Amino acid sequence: MNYFEQINQSEHQSLLQEIEDSTRALNVSRRSFLKTLGISSGLVLAVKIPVSNASPMKWAVGAKKDGEFSPSAYLRISPDNTVTVICHRSEMGQGIRTSIPMLIADELGASWESIKVEQALADQKYGSQNTDGSRSIRRFFSPLREAAATARWLLLEAASQQLKVPADQLECKDTFVMKKSGDKKIAFGDLIEAASNLELPPKEKLTFVTDSQSKYVNKSSSVELVDGHGFVTGTALFGADVQLPDMLVAVIARPPVLASKVKSFDEKAAKKVSGVVSVIKMDDLSLPAAFKPLGGVAVLAKNTWAAMEGRKKLNIEWELSEHKSHSSAKQKEALKESAKNADKVLRNFGDADKAIKDAKYTHTSEYYVPALIHAPMEPPMATAHWKDGVMNIWASTQAPQGAQQTVAQLTGVKPENIKVHVTLLGGGFGRKSKADFVAEAAILSQKSNKPVKVFWTREDEIQQGYYHAESYQILHAAWDKQKILAWKHQVSEPPIGSTFAKDTKHIAGEANLGLLDMPYDIPNVICANGAAEAHHRIGWLRSVTNINHAFASCSFIDEIAHKLKQDPKDYLIKAIGKDRHIDLTKQQADYGNYGEDIQLYPIDTSRIKAVIEKVAENSKWGSKRPKNRYLGIAAHRSFVAYVASVVEVEKTSEGKIKLTNVWLVSDSGTIVNLDRVKSQMEGAVVFGISLAFFGKVTFNEGAVQQSNFHDYEIARIKDIPPTHVDVMINDHPPSGVGEPGVPPIAPAICNAIFAATGKRIRELPLNEQNILA
């Protein structure tokens, strides 16, 4: 298997199945989560902590370095009492560089002031660093608190020996071990020597702080953002901000049509631009694209502007690929045909076709969501410096390990000689887990023998992305009196798999994202997928195909409620049916459940209903509203979290609408950083409004037609109504946070529009529907 097939397998799986070696071990720990709330197997420690060369298992070997105590890959304690937390996940706005330290500080008994945060280099020892799929807390809650609890145990033991006081009379507090009676204490920093010589505690000895003991986790009056000061003073380091002595800035002219080749270009003209140093032709891309650079011609200059000016002069002649005949309008028709004839059955229960044929009442609707692009405020940015056999990379990457692997494959440098430093990401949304831009920097540094920063302009970002695929969906339902008898959902959308294996035409893991896990209690269900060809790179974007699948299924249930003259919220509760854990194996569905154990993370209808009831209560659903105000509701489970939203719109005298309020209730199980969970949900509302109002990338003659924020708009401050987020707090295992807020927003908006105007929106974006005031 070649590397890119492996990527296909592993990355694909990471999205679709989310199973990685390291997390397999974590699964063991998660299994016990509910029962014991976290007392888990030593396997995790064995996987996580590099003690293999220490035999017997003493910390002394490799644990105490430079006078510091490193009881795990995730933290170390120095003689001056600093607790350094190594954040192995990328910070892209979700607040992980604050949340992980909160978790560790609580579990260790360290004061917030003693904590320093260090960003991890790419290294397998941390487990997966792929900051994607709403997994950071979900996957690392247990390993991180185990790491801290282990350190606490060692510190207590060490202090017990020194103070000659039984360990159970001691506690860790404010970065000291102190007697519970309060009369003696030793600073963590003074216990390093002793703690380093202790053996690892057996897992049964680990205890965890309780909710009432915790100072930071789950508390709303939390700590400041670790990067807050840097953000407000302009000193935080993003990918674009890396400056090295002698560094060149590269701007690349990439082919307008996927997999086209460079025929000729005017190197001289580009070099005439003052500041331009060199012009380097990139290798043409051979499909599948995977995470390889797109090809084209790079202009390297002393500053960004010179590079951009130089690029304008290249006058490239392209040999366009077969994708040059691709247009979105034509493709929409093809997707429609393919959806109609969807041939790959993904869930099959009862006999939906027959039930529809026999039923007295039926309804069919077709939905279309265009292609979307991430548009993080900071486009992809990476800097590489190839020197003395070592490739140092600084990049705003969501996936440093993946970047390391990709660069190794494309440059021939061994992974251990590739140091990937992760800067802050000016937003990610899935774009920055693809390493093409990192590879460009590495290749150019190798070729030019200089430090090189590859700078993506906004146009590059919008026109050369990994697109959320355009999708055509057809839904059919049949009912009798009030009860839905059959549900048929047909989907056609170019698959993510096509980015990794050229001839892939059917979706795989995408079906797990809001298609085959439809939660309504219906005796006859069929979900099926039709083939679709990709003509550009398809990738994942915040909440992935939940966006379009939830748009269709949450709209369609609302359509049925209205047909039945039922209150949409009451009908939604009724359609979901009684409290139960949905067992899709009985419905011939191979459900991935976001890589999680279905026992631990069931599809729990009581939790879907709970967020619906709560959001209805918060929005005063059912009570009299101000004049011309109308509500729409939608609820969706994704990334094993549950979110419901109610949108309120106001109808103007011209029959147009504007948003007046959004309510959102989320249930992500165990929470670490309540404030950041809220802010993620607030952000998800804005992201949802952006895609509902404006989201549309189109292709003509194979090339993207949009280029910047004037024609690929995102929501501005004026577009956003008051947003009321309510986070449910419970002790279910930690679930996704970053993505699950997005899917219900667009359907809730469209359901509100229907309530207000009687106009059913089945195609996004709304700014083309003559409905926005």
Partner 1 sequence: MITLKVNGKQHKIDVDPDMPLLWAIRDLLNLTGTKYGCGMALCGACTVHLDGKPTRSCVLPVSQAEGKTVTTIEGISADGEHPVQKAWQSIKVPQCGYCQAGQIMSAVALLNDNKNPSEDEIKDAMSGNLCRCGTYQRITVAIKNAANEMTE
CB 302 within 8 A of CB 278: no
423 is written with which tokens? 């800067």
> In the stretch 369-388, what mask flags binding to ligand FES with x, by CB under 6 A?
--------x-----------
Q: Work out how close the CB of 719 gets to partner 1 at its nearest, in angstroms, rounded to a whole number.
A: 8
- In the complex with ligand FES, the residue whose CB is nearer, 402 or 427, is 427
Helix (DSSP H) and strand (DSSP E) numbers for the chain: 21, 28
> What are the beta bridge partners of residue 700?
703
Q: Are 495 and 467 in contact (CB under 8 A)?
A: no
Enumerate the H helices of 500-632 as residue ranges: 546-563, 568-576, 605-618
427 binds ligand FES (CB under 6 A): yes
Tracing tokens 């879907």 back to the chain, one arrives at 608
Distance CA 388, CA 20 (A): 33
Residues 189 to 248 in contact with partner 1, rule: CB under 8 A:
224-225, 227-238, 240-241, 243
Q: How far is the CB of 59 from partner 1 (least distance, A)?
A: 36
Partner from ligand FES, partner 1, none binding residue 28, C-beta < 5-8 Å depending on class: none
CA atoms within 13 A on the CB side of 612: 24
- The backbone torsions φ and ψ at residue 567, rounded to the nearest 5 degrees and listed phi first, read -65, 125
Contact positions with partner 1 (CB under 8 A) in 135-194: none
Least distance between ligand FES and beta carbon 427 (Å)? 5
DSSP 258: T
User: Which residue, chain included where needed, has tokens 């003259």?
Assistant: 565
Shortest distance (Å) from residue 683 CB to ligand FES: 8
Parallel/antiparallel/unpaired status of strands 524-530 and 483-492: parallel
Contact 127, 48 (CB under 8 A): yes
Find the binding residues for ligand FES in span 44-103 (CB under 6 A): 93
Quick note: the x/- pattern for ligand FES over 207-246, rule CB under 6 A, is: ----------------------------------------
Residues touching partner 1, count (CB under 8 A): 62
Q: Interacting stretch for partner 1, rule CB under 8 A, among 136-144, 250-258, 369-377, 620-628?
A: 369-377
Least Cβ distance, residue 387 to partner 1 (angstroms): 21
Minimum CB separation from ligand FES for residue 436, in Å?
A: 22
Report how far residue 211's alpha carbon sits from residue 335's, in angstroms, rounded to the nearest whole number: 51
CB of 381 to ligand FES, least distance (A): 14
Looking at the DSSP bridge assignments, the partners of residue 199 are: 58
* Residue 512 beta carbon to partner 1: minimum distance, rounded to whole angstroms: 26
Torsion of CA 561, 566, 569, 573, to 10 degrees: -80
Look at residue 424 and give the partner it binds from partner 1, ligand FES, none, a contact being a CB closer than 5 to 8 Å depending on partner kind.
partner 1
| Contact pattern for partner 1 over residues 72 through 101, marking x by CB under 8 A | -------------------xxxxx------
Strand extents, DSSP E, 312-357: 317-319, 344-349
Q: Which is nearer to partner 1, 360 or 718 (CB)?
A: 718
Residue 448 partner contact from ligand FES, partner 1, none using kind-dependent CB cut-offs of 5 to 8 Å: none
For residues 648 and 19, what is the distance between their CA atoms, to the nearest angstrom? 40
Residue 669 zone, left/alpha/beta (φ > 0; ψ -120 to 50; rest): left
Token representation of residue 553: 């299924």
From 251, 418, 715, 755, residue interacting with partner 1 (rule: CB under 8 A):
715
Residue 653 binding result from partner 1, ligand FES, none, given CB thresholds of 5 to 8 Å by partner type:
none
Q: Which is nearer to ligand FES, 101 or 427 (CB)?
A: 427
Quickly count: other Cβ atoms within 10 Å of residue 130's Cβ. 24
Burial label for 662, CB within 10 Å (0-12, 13-18, 19+), is: buried
Q: At 390, which amino acid appears? A: V
Q: Which residue type, as a one-letter code, is found at position 671?
A: I
Using the minimum distance from each CB to partner 1, give the nearer residue, 440 or 558: 440
Site for partner 1 in 303-332 (CB under 8 A): 303-306
Binders of partner 1 among 687-706, rule CB under 8 A?
Answer: 687, 690
**Cβ distance to ligand FES smaller for residue 473 or 680:** 680
Q: Which of 409, 598, 434 is nearest to 17 (CA)?
A: 598
Minimum distance from residue 716 beta carbon to partner 1 (Å): 5
Closest CA to 77 of 118, 128, 125: 118
Place of tokens 């089945």: 762
* Closer to ligand FES by Cβ: residue 227 or 613: 227
Instruction: Return residues touching partner 1 (CB under 8 A).
Output: 91-95, 224-225, 227-238, 240-241, 243, 249, 274-275, 303-306, 375-378, 424-429, 457-458, 675, 679-680, 682-687, 690, 708-710, 714-718, 720, 722-723
Which positions lie near ligand FES, rule CB under 6 A? 93, 377, 427
